[in-house]
Every structure is written in structure tokens, then in C-alpha cells.
Structure 1
Amino acid sequence: MSQFAVVTTETSRDEIVKNLVEVTELPAAIVKRFVVKFNVRENDCWEWRAASNDPKYGGLPYGRFYFEGKFWVAHRWLYEQAVGVVPGNLVLDHFKVPSGDCIGARCVNPNHLEPVTNRENILRGSGRGAQNAKKTHCAKGHKYDRTDKRGFRICTKCAREYAKNYRAGAK
């Protein structure tokens, strides 16, 4: 991925615009319209301060940017303009979030983004799917030692106990 010039809280908006115009080859007016919508934070995040998706409808508060007749997710728009199109089977991951170096959904800094599979993005997160994937033992403390035909991890001891109790109840 191309790295942008170091942008700090001391970097002027004009310097940011100049850098992004060089990288994206977009007209300065469009870049300026984008740049005024974020603030640079101490941790190098570019915090989106304009319109965003409403998280109460189940999503994350990703910034929105209107360009050429449609609303774009702001971080994806800038990434695609500056770095290139994200392949259809990949999503953009705010990969610095787990280390505490990025604010996540509201950050539009392309240097904080990485194209990954949806599965990798989920596993890097802190949601229920990521938490369960990190487990190595079942609720009774047995090590997961097999995978069933659906791909779920199981422990042999609990599976045998369940089958034994099921057969006993069927009689």
C-alpha cells in the first residue's frame, strides 16, 4: 500500500490537500471538500466529523461522502481514490484498532486500512465470532479436538456424553 506523507495535528489542511491531490489525481476542489470533513488526531487517525451511518440500525458509524451521484463509505472512497479498487472478495479492515492505535469506523486514514477477507476482518475484531474463534476449550474445560461435518469444533468427551444421554432418553 502506498504510504502518505506523515500527517500530524500540526499539518495544515492545505498541505494535506496538496498531498492527496498528488496521490489521487483528483481536482483540488473535491479533495478540499473531503479534507474539511475530518480532523487529524494525535494517534494519526483522520477522524471523520461529517455525515455518518446511524449505528442504531445495526451498523457502525462509518462516515459518508457524496461523490458523482452516490454516497460512499468515506474511508473506502479515499482508499479507492488513493490506493486502488478493493478486490470484490475483500473488505477494508481498520487493522490498527486491536492495538489501540486507531479509532476504527470513524477513521479515514488509508494508512490505517488493509484489504482482507471478511473472515479475517471478523477474527481480528472483538465481536462474538472473534471471541468464540479464540476459544480452545469447551464450556466444561475440555480441549476442542475434532471438527464435525459442518466445520464446528467439538470436544470428543462432551460429544460422547451427549450421544450417551440422547440414546438413554430415546429408550
Structure 2
Amino acid sequence: MNLNPTRALAIAAGLVMPLAGETSHVVTPKDMARFWVKVAAPDSNGCWLWTGKVNRYGYGDFGLRKRLVKAHRFAYTVTRGPIPDGLVLDHLCRVRHCVNPAHLEAVTQRENTLRGDAPSARRARLTHCPQGHPYSKANTYVTSRNERKCRACHRIRQRAYKAVLRAKETTK
């Protein structure tokens, strides 16, 4: 592939923004100007809030070659370089429309999920079952629905169930 000098410099500088599909876009000074005009001055938390289009999930969207890219991904890519393969960006500030690269960290999807506040993340952080038994390797099993269960509680439930069955047998 024969690259023109501008594209070669942009690639060397990491200023190539991946787009949907297998395409990419060399970030131009015009793109940079259009982007940074939509970023507000830092707030009290140091967040650089995106003032452009925000999607229904709270993330900023930025138009690039008739495609939308996430504003925080664009900011990270042009200031810190490409996002490593297999990693996603985590907002350390928990503000989804923040584009401050210092507030973004490239992590695995699993790590990003566990750091969040979704029900799955809250359950994953639990160290004990509702009855107080530890979720240790020996006391925990995973169901076919990928749910963590306490072996001690399961034994208690099984004993109670079998006692009910025995009581029914003796009353017949």
C-alpha cells in the first residue's frame, strides 16, 4: 500500500481513528478543531464534559466521515494513542460524557464491568451469601445459569426439603 506523507505521519503519530467496520480515518486539524470546540472547560472534578450530541446511554457522540465515534474514545486516541486491542475505556470519574484522557483507563471488559455499579458488578463484589456464609472456593458453586450459589445454604435447603418429604411419607 502506497501512503502519502500526511497519512504516514498521522499513522506514526497514532492519529488514525478506527471507524465501524474495517476502515479508519486519518484525523485532520479540522477534525481536531471541530472536536475540541465541543468540550467544556474542566468542572470541579476535573471532568472535560462533552457538549455535543450525547446518546441515550450518556456517552458523547462525535461525527467523523458520516459515522459516529464515541467522544471519549476519540479524545483518548488523539491524546494518548490507539486503544490497545481487547481493551475498552473505563471512565474513572464515572461520568460517561467526560472526555478528559486523564479520567480514562484502558482495561478489559470484565474489569470495566466489575468496576461499575450494575447488578452483576454488585453481586460479583459480594464476599458472603445473604445468610453470612463466605463465598469461598470450597463453599461456592456456579449454576448452569452462571449464578454463584452458597453450598452451605444449599445443604440447609436440601435437608429441609427432605424433612418435608419424610414427614409426608409418615403421614400416609
**Displacement, 1:30?**
1.5
**Displacement, 1:170?**
5.5
Mapping 1:21-170, distance limit 5 Å = 24=15, 26-40=27-41, 41-54=43-56, 60-97=57-94, 104-145=95-136, 146-150=139-143, 152-168=147-163
Q: Distance in 2 between matches of 1:166 and 1:109?
A: 56
**Matched letter for residue 112 of structure 2:** N
Q: Distance in 1 between matches of 2:50 and 2:152?
A: 50
RCO higher in structure (CA 8 A, sep ≥6): 1
The answer to whether the 8 Å contact 2:142/2:149 transfers is no
Deviations 1:131-166 (A, max 9, x none): 212222211222223231546544332111122234
- Greater CA deviation, 152-161 or 28-37? 152-161
**Displacement, 1:84?**
2.6
- Superposition TM-score, scaled by structure 2 size: 0.69
Task: Work out the number of aligned pairs and report it.
Answer: 139
**Matched letter for residue 148 of structure 1:** Y
Deviations 1:64-87 (A, max 9, x none): 001123111111122123323323
Which ranges in structure 2 are unaligned for 5 or more consecutive residues?
A: 1-12, 16-25, 167-172
**Displacement, 1:49?**
0.9
SS of the residue 2:74 aligns to = helix
**Displacement, 1:38?**
1.3
- Superposition TM-score, scaled by structure 1 size: 0.69
Kindly tell me: are residues 147 and 156 of structure 1, through their superposed partners in 2, closer, same or farther at Cα, counting changes over 3 Å?
Answer: closer
Aligned identity (percent) is: 38
Partner of 1:7: none
Question: Which has the greater radius of gyration?
Answer: 2
SS of the residue 1:129 aligns to = helix
Q: Distance in 2 between matches of 1:49 and 1:155?
A: 47
Deviations 1:94-132 (A, max 9, x none): 1233xxxxxx10101111111111111111122212221
RMSD of equivalent CA atoms: 2.5
The answer to whether the 8 Å contact 2:141/2:151 transfers is no
